[in-house]
Amino acid sequence: MNRKWPRAAGLAVLLLLLAGAWFWREPLRHRLAWWGVLGNDAPPPDLVETLIAQAPHPPAAVLAAWQTGKIVHRQAAVRLARRVVPPPAPLPAGLEDVMLAAALDPDLAVREMALRDLRDRRHPALPALLAEQLRDADPQVRLAALQLLKSLPPGTGLPLLRPLLDDPEPLVVATALKLLESPAGTEFGVKLADLTPLAAEGTAPEPETLNRLRAATARARAWFESQPASPASSLAGLEAASRPVTPALLPAPDFELPDLDGRRVRLSALRGRVVLLNFWATWCTACMGEIPTLVALRQNHGADLVILGIALDGVPDTHGHGHDEAADHTTDTVPPRVREKVARVAQARGINYPVLLDPKNEAGGRYQGGELPTTVIVDAAGHVRRRFIGPRALAVFEAMLAEAARPVPQPAAPAARRGP
């Protein structure tokens, strides 16, 4: 009896363990997959979102993804926060902090998602956060903020519009004038259709168009002067009851890639200088149009700036481009046809900065560089200061680089205090 009892007890324990493993197999599988995703610098974005949505406590999963400090994870976190707590419901404290910090993020994809979410929740911090966007060096950021101004209560956005009458980007001025027409009760005679295509092409408007714009801004200034001053309608009034938001520093993921001559270039070895990463491909029309600007940028700068053109030829994008020359991921060598094609285009386009080859999407995956062209500006300390999609004018690049050369600023943009 005494000998059989330990055996029976052991068998019972084993059966319980097996039953527990069977019962908990899905949670264990999810946890193992989640740990693997959190440790991966470049997981498939869809996988990150799926695991957050399937987590036992999705808000905690959103926070964990955000706190990795990784670009792919942070984009998924901001996107999924909306599904975890659908608007217009207020966000719980932890997720609210994430969304407020994301509204000032160096990754413009994250920033835009966060601002739209705060708009849909009618968050009291939105006016002051939009004021910060309207001071941004990037006219695309200012234009996006102007679109969000439409959602503010009547009159709230007026103090934000007045400074834009002096904006250097004509399309920003014209958009501000269109938004001002309703509260002013008059039309200023500007047509966005005359300016939008020119802004997309980087072409200056015709003198006649600029003259009409100047006349319209003069009338708008006169209207502002005629309005009674009110502390509640001033920009200072919008920010008076606010607390600062501190965006998290975003470390630049490291990588090492070969250039066209086979030399290996590691990002972390370039610390001490500002680095501009430009993800492009030879089949990308917008990328080809941006190259002359980058060439001019390289000519304008000395050793203080490094530009790296990271060619994603061989990496199929979401539209199927590049599928016919996809790299063999079982080998470390760059396919000769990819190297030769990129080298031909680089020479034909007069590229005067190093071109790196990334047919396995090693750097592209870390920086979500698949939508082209994607540009990332990394400061001398190794922090991402900008990540955006699409070309920009030379003057905008210069303003962004000057910003990246300065220490990380303490943000002026605020978030509203929570109630009791």
Domains of the chain: 28-245 (1.25.10), 256-405 (3.40.30.10)
- At 328 the pLDDT is 52
The DSSP 8-state label assigned to residue 354 in this structure reads: -
Contact 299, 352 (CB under 8 A): yes
Residue type, 241: A
Beta strands (DSSP E) in 157-314 are 242-244, 256-258, 264-266, 274-280, 305-311
- At 198 the pLDDT is 67
- At 205 the pLDDT is 84
The DSSP 8-state label assigned to residue 205 in this structure reads: P
- At 26 the pLDDT is 54
Residue partners of 287: CB distance under 8 A and separation at least 6: 280, 281, 372, 373
Residue partners of 294: CB distance under 8 A and separation at least 6: 276, 278, 307, 309, 351, 353
- At 407 the pLDDT is 86
Q: What is the pLDDT of residues 109-168, one digit of tens each?
A: 999 999 999 999 999 999 999 999 999 999 999 999 999 998 988 778 888 999 999 999
The CA-to-CA distance between both ends of the chain, in Å, stands at 66
Please, which contacts does 79-83 make with residues 24 or more away whose CB atoms are closer than 8 Å?
79/49, 79/113, 80/49, 80/52, 80/53, 81/117, 82/113, 82/117, 83/53, 83/58
pTM (2 d.p.): 0.86
Between β-strands 384-389 and 374-378, what pairing exists: parallel, antiparallel or unpaired?
antiparallel
- At 206 the pLDDT is 87
- At 10 the pLDDT is 54
pLDDT in tens, the chain (420 residues): 455 555 555 555 455 544 444 444 556 677 788 888 889 999 999 999 999 999 999 999 999 999 999 999 999 999 999 999 999 999 999 999 999 999 999 999 999 999 999 999 999 999 999 999 999 999 999 999 999 998 988 778 888 999 999 999 999 999 999 999 999 999 998 888 888 776 666 778 888 889 999 999 999 999 999 988 754 455 555 554 455 566 678 999 999 999 999 999 999 999 999 999 999 999 999 999 999 999 999 999 999 999 999 999 999 765 555 545 554 544 557 899 999 999 999 999 999 999 999 999 999 999 998 899 999 999 999 999 999 999 999 999 999 999 999 987 655 444 444 433
| Residue 143 to residue 162: CA distance in whole angstroms | 15
| Residue 399 to residue 409: CA distance in whole angstroms | 15
Contact 415, 245 (CB under 8 A): yes
- At 33 the pLDDT is 80
The DSSP 8-state label assigned to residue 334 in this structure reads: P
- At 9 the pLDDT is 57
| Residue 399 to residue 165: CA distance in whole angstroms | 20
Between the alpha carbon of residue 150 and those of residues 127, 155, 161, 191, 340, the distances in Å are 11, 10, 11, 18, 50
